RNA sequence: GCCCAGAUGGUGAAAUUGGUAGACACGCUAGACUUAGGAUCUAGUGCUUCGGCGUGGAGGUUCAAGUCCUCUUCUGGGCACCA
């Protein structure tokens, strides 16, 4: 028999499908293990060789765990709602539902060819009503909850309303936008609209009139993580700041918890660091500065309250509502002119423009300690969206304040010794305080708590923790998303009843967005409740559907709830999550928030969803380049190109092999190259190369289907893993794939000699056992550490050794095939069945190594003098320190080396090296 | 500007975590078999002036450093007027 990989792979994929080999149920007799991939977004381009990298790794791990006796949940689905799918549909003139369906079909075909062990019975597709039912359900729960800071959890809104009716809000400590207090009488005196307006400031899903990232080209608002450098992440369209009424999620209520539980997670440090930065906790104080000749006060946030005696001016963000009050009549014209100019700048321009600008309002504050007058300025280096949108400026000890003060000639007062504050700001977080009355002489770290205590006791403010994290803007003025289960009665938002879910996405005659922001759902007919009340027109953003999909896999067909208690208690959480870093500040924050919310309400049993997370690197494209001699149709090979004046062109990597161009295919590639001529070197045309993003326009996209057609999927799987460490980004390059194919061929020949199955029931030799057990030990450890590349190397070594030994013993080969199974399951199944098994290899036990076969009779003991290797001594492997020492000292060569010299020290580390130190 | 990760042959990469650097694979060279080879097998392959030298560079700790410490250069990623 030959190694007919296509036949073998097709055969076993069919067997797995027919036998439902990978279907899992909650089996309490086995320990569970949940391996999850970040489900794909089915784009129009299909999968390229970069996509399966993580899927192959997780598949290997899932198969390994199964062989180790775990009940493994390894599901797959599609993140199908959202902006890119809709953009693709618009561009290709299709309905997003149709294009999504087609794309999913294509993805499935491609995934199936790779031979994954997914339980497809558990597939979830986020755009299907059976799934988004539970996205809407979770939203309703968030709408109907507030966050109680006293108990530190989300709590049903009824308890808040009851408290308002009894005592107003004075005893409430909640995550809220509300400022000030009201009494129960006041609450009762308000009409429904006013009451609801107040409740919105407490709900976890709430409507808010807020500054949003508005993207005119996409016709929608975007969340902060969807905006990079002032342009949309999708498509790179400009984004502007606009005040709009929007649905938001109160993610900030969970900021501290999201930060705290990060420590327990088995994620990489860099990913945790990214989330920490995104959450952006900073400790400091809020301080009130009374406004001169007014009852109002200006609230600021500072991390350096110790520098308060160095304040020489205050700055308001151009968006600040205080501006109107503090601006004097003679400054009004100047202020208006400045604000007008500031407003016309987009966020991006404001970020890029590093020139100092500002204007004096004419108004003053009183310094809370010294009672001196402090001028109030407006400056666009202060952000309206962070802290209170106002700062106390300490030019001596803050670089930005210093630049502003220098520019406008404002005094600079030193309060921390150690720098020359007239020359540059001294931002050090240590040093002695000067010119600071109460805290003079203290070091910064002691001055901070002292001054906060002082601020607190005088009622001038309080200790305060600020977060950079913003509430998530949760509405999109687009068609392709989950409809909100909210209707409006007299303009007041009301939740739909849970029994009315799912609220199906209606048909519309045109689903394209509008530049002005009227959502497409406005065109839907009868988009009202049974009673005729209008339903919310926005849809939910892409991250809504992906925030709880891992829970749905536990119980995908449940029509009573997102996940049943039994299923959730069995599967608990994701033991291993594999995906890219690009979701660090989006999906991975939102799901953690979503999960914690459901945890608070008791719907899930774990506070954190993803126990361990591995980030796979990206596979870049390896573009090939050809060099056309200018003005001709001649192409010159890489080595000769410097002799000509050339222009460089990208060429389709599929007609290049190992950088050698297939010149005939090139002529057929494009009509204008039909008559191309080639200047060859050694009879070949050698192409240049460049590592770039894998993209259609660079002709460097490699489709896994093509690789599989040529070498088979077992080779493809092994090769992707052999390319290097899973976490590392690397360019795709097929030049080494032959080596992997040869490896599988060698494996095949181990079981089949001269095309005949040839395995015998004989006792294995010590060498054979040693080779196998060494390999098992290495592969077992490597899989657990995700070092798949070195595991494969170990198996290659083993196969080479067994081939040299001409080993065809069942005892050895049976164990080897099980070990190979997670990596190359199809060939493993075939060999397993050739070995006479009637069940699939999936049900076998992963072999365990036995140290006794690894013990060597002798080992080489290197002996060095002053760090230089002098000779090697053969010693019994069980020698201890003293015996090694004795053997070394008695050796003739040692005596020769020591001849007349003094031995200063002898360092013996068993099984390592012996060092003689000679003076 | 701040934070994180990384740098090892012609190439992808290993290195039991401080112990003979370059395993394994690609590529390359030579040979064998062959009508043929993009098949298979065998041998060689870090550099070298054959003394040695070698893990981006410069120092340091150590009997011993790719691995630990200090400084530095470059590359990739994240955040960015966050008070």
| Averages of pLDDT over each 10 residues, chain A, 919 residues | 88 95 96 96 84 94 96 96 86 91 95 96 97 98 97 96 95 91 95 95 93 83 80 79 87 94 88 90 92 90 93 92 90 91 71 80 93 93 87 92 92 88 82 89 89 92 90 91 96 95 90 78 90 94 94 97 97 94 91 97 96 89 82 81 79 77 84 85 74 78 90 94 90 88 92 85 91 94 94 94 90 95 96 94 92 76 68 72 78 73 69 69
Strands A358-366, A373-379: parallel, antiparallel or unpaired by DSSP? antiparallel
Which residues 269 to 288 of A reach strand B, CB within 7 A?
A: 269-270, 273-274, 277-278, 280, 282, 284
Distance A728 CA to B66 C1' (A): 19
Identify nearest nucleotide to residue A398 by CA to C1′ distance.
B83
| Of A720, A827, A839, residue with least CA distance to A58 | A720
Indicate if CB(A247) is under 7 A from strand B. Answer: no
Counting every residue written for chain A, the total comes to 919
**Which nucleotide lies at the shortest CA–C1' distance from A468?**
B82
Nearest-CA residue to the C1' of B62? A867
Interior/surface letters A585-596, b for 16+ CB within 10 angstroms, e for the rest: bbbbbbbbbbbb
Spatial distance from the CA of A448 to the C1' of B49 (Å): 67
Taking the stretch 567-596 of protein chain A, residues with Cβ within 7 Å of any atom in nucleic acid chain B are 581-582, 584-585
Residue A906 CA distance to nucleotide B74 C1' (Å): 42
In the complex, which nucleotide's C1' lies nearest to the CA atom of residue A280?
A: B82
Q: How many CB atoms lie within 10 A of CB A305?
A: 26
Q: How many Cβ atoms sit within 10 Å of the Cβ of residue A371? A: 8
Does strand B come within 7 Å of the CB of A718?
no
- Report, in angstroms and rounded to the nearest whole number, the Rg of chain A calculated over CA atoms: 34
| A470 nearest nucleotide via C1' and CA | B82
Joined together, the tokens standing for residue A3 give 């190694």
Q: Do the beta carbons of residue A888 and residue A875 sit within 8 Å?
A: no
A267 sits within 7 Å of strand B by its CB: no
Residue A867's pLDDT is: 62
Assess whether A860 (CB) lies less than 7 A from strand B: yes
Residue A369 dihedral angles phi and psi, to the nearest 5° = -100, -45
State how far the Cα of A450 lies from the Cα of A445, in Å rounded to an integer. 9
Task: Compute the distance between CA of residue A643 and CA of residue A802 in angstroms, rounded to an integer.
Answer: 52
pLDDT at residue number A242: 79
The spacing between the Cα labelled CA in A144 and the C1' in B34, in angstroms, equals 80
pLDDT at A904: 65
Look up residue A547 and give its two tokens.
Answer: 């925030």
A741 CA: nearest nucleotide by C1':
B25
pLDDT of residue A48: 84
Closest nucleotide to the alpha carbon of A392, via C1': B83
- DSSP structure string for A95-136: -HHHHHHHHHHHHHHHHHHHT----GGG--BTTSHHHHHHHH
CA-to-C1' span, A908 to B33 (A): 52
A872 touches strand B (CB under 7 A): yes
Residues of A from 746 to 785 whose C-beta is within 7 A of strand B: which are they? 746
Give the nucleotide at minimum CA-to-C1' distance from A469: B82
Answer for A790: CB within 7 Å of strand B: yes
> CB of A745 under 7 A from strand B?
yes
What 8-state DSSP symbol labels residue A699? T
ipTM for the assembly: 0.93
Nearest nt by C1' to A353 Cα: B81
Rounded distance in angstroms from the CA atom of residue A735 to the C1' atom of nucleotide B28 = 14
Q: Identify, with chain letter, the residue nearest to nucleotide B65 (CA–C1').
A: A867
Which A residues between 878 and 897 have a beta carbon under 7 A from any strand B atom?
Answer: none
Can you tell me which residue has its alpha carbon closest to the C1' of nucleotide B64?
A867
Structure tokens at A683: 């009879």
Which nucleotides in chain B have some atom under 7 angstroms from a protein Cβ?
Answer: 3-5, 11-15, 19-20, 23-27, 38-42, 63-65, 76-83
Nucleotide B5: closest residue by CA–C1': A270
Using the CA of A379, which nucleotide's C1' is the nearest one?
B81
Query: In Å, what is the separation between the CA of A865 and the C1' of B54?
Result: 21
Strand B close to A317 by CB, under 7 A: yes
Rounded, the Å distance between the CA of A321 and C1' of B81 is 20
Helices in A431-494 by DSSP H: which ranges? 444-457
Q: How many CB atoms lie within 10 A of CB A691?
A: 15
Contacts of A622 (CB under 8 A, 6+ apart): A653, A689, A690, A691, A700, A731, A732, A733
CA atoms within 13 A of residue A4's CA, in its CB half-sphere:
8
Strand duo A492-495 + A486-489: pairing: antiparallel
Query: CB of residue A856 closer than 7 A to nucleic acid strand B?
Result: no
**d(C-alpha A724, C-alpha A739), whole Å:** 14
Q: Which nucleotide is nearest to A388 (CA to C1')?
A: B83
Angstrom CA distances, A480 to A28, A86, A225, A392, stand at: 40, 6, 19, 45
Distance CA A774, CA A850 (A): 9
Q: Give the CA dihedral A375, A378, A383, A388, nearest 10 degrees.
A: 40
In angstroms, how far is B34 C1' from A667 CA?
33
* A428 CA, B1 C1': Å apart: 15
Please state, in angstroms and rounded to a whole number, the distance separating the CA atoms of residues A353 and A379. 13
What pLDDT, on the 0 to 100 scale, is given for residue A663?
82
Say whether the CB atom of A389 is under 7 angstroms from strand B. yes
Cα A672 to Cα A100: distance, rounded to the nearest angstrom:
36
DSSP helix/strand/coil, A35: strand
Q: How far apart are CA A74 and CA A64, in angstroms?
A: 12
Query: Which nt sits closest to A907, CA to C1'?
Result: B63
- Whether cis (ω within 30° of 0) applies to the bond prior to A502 is yes
Are the beta carbons of A88 and A45 closer than 8 angstroms? no
d(Cα A398, Cα A424) in Å, to the nearest integer? 9
Residue nearest to nucleotide B2 (CA to C1'): A277
CA distances A106 to A48, A100, A113, A283, A715, Å, are: 12, 10, 11, 51, 22
Please give residues of chain A from 516 to 575 whose alpha-adjacent beta carbon (CB) lies under 7 Å from any atom of strand B.
Answer: none
Estimate to the nearest angstrom the gap between the alpha carbon of A794 and the chain centroid: 31
Asked whether residue A616's C-beta has any atom of DNA/RNA strand B within 7 A, the reply is no
A723 touches strand B (CB under 7 A): yes
Instruction: Say how far A382 CA is from B81 C1', in Å.
Output: 7
| C1' (B16) to CA (A65) span, angstroms | 24
Cα–Cα distance for residue pair A488/A475, rounded to 1 Å: 16
Nearest nucleotide to A743 (CA to C1') is B25
Residues 216-235 of chain A with CB under 7 A from strand B are: 224-225, 228
- CA A59 to centroid of chain Cα atoms: 19
Q: What does the alpha-carbon distance between residue A167 and residue A97 come to, in Å, rounded to a whole number?
A: 51
Cβ A693 to strand B below 7 Å? no
The SS3 call for residue A876 is: strand
Q: Confirm whether any atom of chain B, the nucleic acid strand, is less than 7 Å from CB of A353.
A: yes
Q: With beta carbons less than 8 A apart as the criterion, state whether A414 and A426 touch.
A: yes
CA of A758 to C1' of B16 (A): 36
- Quote the CA–CA distance of A545 and A807 in Å, as a whole number: 53
């Amino acid at each position: 028999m030959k190694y007919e990989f296509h036949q073998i792979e097709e055969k076993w994929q069919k067997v797995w499908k027919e036998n439902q080999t990978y279907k899992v149920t909650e089996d309490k007799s086995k320990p569970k293990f949940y391996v999850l991939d970040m489900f794909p977004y089915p784009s129009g381009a299909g999968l390229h060789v970069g996509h399966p990298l993580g899927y192959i790794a997780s598949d290997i791990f899932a198969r390994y765990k199964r062989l180790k006796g775990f009940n493994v949940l390894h599901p797959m689905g599609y993140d199908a709602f959202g902006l890119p799918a809709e953009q693709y549909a618009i561009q290709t003139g299709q309905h997003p539902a149709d294009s999504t369906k087609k794309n999913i079909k294509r993805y499935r075909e491609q995934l199936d060819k790779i031979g994954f062990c997914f339980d497809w019975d558990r597939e979830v597709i986020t755009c299907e009503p059976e799934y988004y039912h539970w996205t809407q359900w979770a939203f309703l729960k968030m709408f109907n909850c507030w966050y109680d800071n006293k108990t530190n959890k989300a709590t049903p809104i009824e308890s808040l309303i009851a408290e308002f009716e009894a005592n107003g809000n004075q005893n409430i400590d909640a995550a809220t936008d509300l400022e000030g207090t009201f009494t129960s009488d006041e609450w009762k005196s308000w009409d429904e609209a006013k009451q609801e307006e107040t409740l919105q400031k407490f709900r976890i899903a709430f409507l808010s009139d807020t500054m949003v990232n508005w993207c005119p080209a996409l016709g929608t608002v975007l969340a902060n993580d969807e905006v990079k450098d002032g342009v949309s992440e999708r498509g790179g369209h400009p984004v502007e700041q606009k005040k709009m009424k929007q649905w938001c999620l109160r993610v900030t209520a969970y900021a501290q918890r999201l930060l705290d539980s990060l420590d327990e997670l088995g994620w990489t440090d860099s990913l945790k660091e990214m989330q920490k930065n995104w959450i952006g906790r900073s400790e400091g104080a809020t301080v009130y500065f009374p406004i001169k000749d007014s009852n109002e006060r200006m609230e600021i946030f500072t991390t350096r309250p110790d520098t308060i005696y160095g304040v020489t001016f205050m700055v308001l963000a151009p968006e600040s509502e205080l501006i109107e009050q503090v601006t004097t009549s003679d400054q009004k014209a100047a202020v208006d002119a400045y604000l007008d100019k500031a407003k016309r700048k987009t966020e991006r321009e404001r970020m890029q423009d590093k020139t100092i600008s500002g204007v004096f309002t004419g108004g003053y504050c009183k310094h809370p300690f010294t009672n001196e007058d402090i001028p109030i300025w407006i400056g666009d280096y202060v952000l309206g969206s962070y802290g209170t949108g106002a700062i106390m400026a300490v030019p001596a000890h803050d670089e930005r304040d210093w630049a502003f003060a220098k520019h406008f000639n404002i005094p600079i007062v030193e309060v921390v010794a150690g720098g020359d504050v007239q020359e540059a700001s001294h931002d050090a977080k240590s040093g002695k305080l000067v010119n600071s009355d109460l805290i003079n002489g203290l070091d910064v770290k002691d001055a901070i708590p002292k001054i906060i205590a002082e601020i607190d006791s005088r009622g001038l403010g309080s200790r305060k923790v600020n977060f950079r994290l913003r509430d998530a803007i949760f509405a999109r003025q687009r068609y392709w998303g989950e409809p909100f289960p909210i209707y409006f009665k007299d303009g007041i938002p009301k939740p739909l009843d849970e029994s009315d879910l799912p609220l199906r996405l209606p048909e519309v005659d045109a689903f394209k967005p509008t530049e002005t922001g009227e959502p497409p759902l406005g065109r839907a007919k009868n988009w009202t409740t049974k009673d005729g009340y209008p339903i919310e027109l926005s849809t939910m953003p892409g991250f809504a559907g992906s925030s709880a999909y891992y829970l749905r896999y536990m119980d995908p067909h449940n029509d009573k709830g997102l996940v049943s208690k039994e299923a959730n208690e069995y599967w608990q959480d994701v033991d291993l999550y594999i995906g890219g870093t690009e979701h660090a500040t989006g999906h991975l924050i939102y799901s953690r928030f979503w999960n914690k919310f459901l945890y608070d309400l008791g719907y899930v049993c774990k506070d954190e969803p993803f126990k361990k997370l591995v980030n796979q690197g990206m596979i870049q494209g390896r573009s090939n380049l050809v060099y056309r001699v200018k003005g001709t149709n001649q192409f010159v090979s890489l080595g000769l190109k410097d002799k000509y004046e050339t222009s460089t062109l990208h060429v389709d990597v599929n007609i290049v092999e190992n950088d050698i161009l297939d010149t005939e295919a090139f002529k057929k590639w494009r009509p204008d190259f039909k008559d191309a001529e080639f200047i060859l070197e050694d009879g070949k045309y050698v192409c240049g190369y460049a590592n770039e993003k894998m993209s259609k326009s660079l002709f460097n996209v490699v489709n896994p289907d093509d690789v599989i057609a040529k070498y088979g999927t077992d080779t493809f799987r092994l090769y992707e893993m052999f390319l290097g460490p899973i976490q590392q980004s690397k360019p795709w390059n097929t030049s080494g794939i032959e080596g992997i194919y040869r490896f599988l061929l060698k494996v095949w020949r181990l079981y089949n000699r001269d095309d005949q199955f040839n395995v015998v029931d004989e006792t294995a030799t010590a060498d054979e056992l040693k080779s196998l057990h060494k390999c098992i030990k290495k592969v077992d450890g490597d899989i657990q550490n995700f070092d798949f590349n070195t595991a494969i190397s170990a198996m290659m070594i083993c196969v080479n050794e067994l081939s040299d030994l001409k080993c065809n013993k069942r005892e050895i080969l049976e164990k080897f095939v099980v070990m190979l199974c997670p990596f190359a399951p199809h060939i493993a199944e075939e060999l397993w069945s050739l070995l006479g098994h009637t069940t699939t290899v999936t049900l076998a036990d992963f072999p365990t190594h036995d140290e006794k076969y690894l013990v060597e009779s002798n080992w080489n003991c290197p002996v060095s003098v002053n760090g230089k290797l002098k000779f090697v001594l053969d010693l019994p492997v069980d020698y201890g320190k003293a015996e090694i020492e004795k053997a070394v000292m008695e050796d003739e060569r040692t005596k020769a080396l020591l001849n007349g010299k003094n031995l200063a020290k002898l360092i013996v580390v068993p099984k390592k090296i012996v060092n003689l130190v000679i003076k």
